[in-house]
């Protein structure tokens, strides 16, 4: 990608991100609405400065498959609500016991475990409400969006992935296949549903849907491998979480070593980009985005 294309991509990603960041506060109850501590807790995590990678995948997928980005914004925000809920739950003492997230004290440190658990449940519930009310879409696609989201959150997806993650905790060198299965459920499933929801907004199925799903699953797994690499080397300030906590956990680094994990992440980003070939030049931005995510996260893995 030459520098002009990269600038164009970065501008485009920023414009999507700005739209997401502007819409999220409108979709979340105001802080002064009772119970104030619950709503403050929800907004604290949801509006914290995350990278918004998952909602960007949703909007880019919809655009790539021929839809206007407008109808994809609320579904993308619903995805970010699920992501924020998962981060709150993941940081609890009974899970990863992390004290910092997105460069700030973790939700339960500020609001207590009781309120933060309820805030996570409330964010999840609100995500469904956002989908049922999504503007610019007929009733049938809105129902499809809800169905897709339910299919990846519970025992068929993220929650099961987290259970496997807990089971692997303490095993410092788990078999890479086990770890991959767990990461595909825990992290990959949410990326997958981003693509599926973008395709629903565009009203597209068949081969292009398969292409974007393969892309998203490979990118999600790649992202988890890179996240493990960053946690392994980055100081807390650059990772935005208390990175040391993950050292007790089974990670791709503890399982296969950092050199193999790096190679694996390169293979995965290549797989992701290759998966888009059937779509042709319309997918250039999505491919550029995958490389952009890879490259910017990779840079953090090489910090002293």
Binding site for ligand GRG (CB under 6 A): 50-51, 53, 82-83, 85-87, 89-90, 95, 102, 124, 153, 158-159, 162, 186-187, 224, 227
Q: Judged by CB, which is closer to ligand GRG: 66, or 154?
A: 154
Residue 39 or 83: the one with the smaller Cβ distance to ligand GRG is 83
Between 85 and 256, name the residue whose CB sits nearer to ligand GRG: 85
- Closer of 49 and 278 to ligand GRG (Cβ): 49
**Rounded to the nearest whole angstrom, what is the least distance from the CB of residue 146 to ligand GRG in the complex?**
15
Residue showing the smallest CB distance to ligand GRG in the complex: 50
By beta-carbon proximity to ligand GRG, the closer residue of 194 and 283 is: 194
Q: Which is nearer to ligand GRG, 190 or 276 (CB)?
A: 190
Closest contact distance (angstroms) between CB of 72 and ligand GRG is 18
Q: Give the span between the Cα atoms of 99 and 108, in whole angstroms.
A: 8
- Distance, in Å, from the CA atom of 98 to the CA atom of 104, rounded to the nearest integer, reads 11
Nearer to ligand GRG, 35 or 49 (CB): 49
Shortest Å, Cβ 51 to ligand GRG: 4
- State the minimum distance, in angstroms, from the CB of residue 134 to ligand GRG: 19
161 and 186 in contact (C-beta within 8 Å)?
yes
Work out how close the CB of 2 gets to ligand GRG at its nearest, in angstroms, rounded to a whole number.
27
* CB 40, min distance to ligand GRG, A: 19
CB of 262 to ligand GRG, least distance (A): 16
């Amino acid at each position: 990608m030459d520098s002009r294309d990269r600038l164009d991509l970065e501008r485009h990603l920023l414009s999507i991100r700005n739209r997401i960041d502007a819409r999220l506060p409108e979709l979340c109850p105001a802080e002064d609405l009772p119970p104030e501590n619950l709503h403050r807790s929800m907004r604290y995590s949801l509006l914290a400065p995350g990278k918004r990678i998952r909602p960007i995948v949703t909007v880019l997928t919809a655009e790539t498959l021929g839809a206007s980005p407008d109808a994809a914004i609320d579904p993308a925000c619903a995805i970010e609500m699920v992501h924020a809920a998962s981060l709150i739950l993941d940081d609890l003492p009974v899970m990863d016991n992390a004290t910092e997230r997105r460069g700030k004290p973790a939700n339960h440190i500020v609001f207590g475990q009781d309120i933060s658990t309820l805030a996570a449940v409330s964010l999840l519930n609100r995500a469904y409400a956002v989908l049922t009310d999504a503007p610019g879409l007929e009733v049938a696609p809105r129902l499809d969006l809800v169905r897709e989201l339910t299919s990846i959150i519970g025992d068929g997806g993220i929650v099961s992935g987290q259970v496997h993650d807990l089971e692997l905790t303490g095993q410092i060198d788990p078999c890479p296949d086990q770890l991959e299965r767990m990461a595909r459920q825990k992290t990959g499933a949410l990326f997958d549903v981003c693509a599926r929801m973008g395709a629903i907004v565009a009203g597209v199925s068949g081969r292009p849907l398969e292409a974007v799903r393969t892309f998203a699953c490979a990118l999600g797994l790649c992202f988890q491998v890179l996240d493990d690499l960053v946690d392994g080397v980055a100081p807390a300030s650059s990772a935005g979480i208390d990175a040391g906590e993950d050292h007790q956990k089974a990670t791709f680094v503890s399982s296969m070593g950092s050199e193999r994990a790096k190679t694996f992440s390169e293979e995965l980003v290549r797989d992701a980009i290759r998966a888009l070939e059937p779509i042709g030049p319309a997918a250039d931005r999505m491919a550029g985005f995958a490389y952009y995510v890879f490259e910017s996260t990779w840079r953090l893995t090489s910090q002293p």
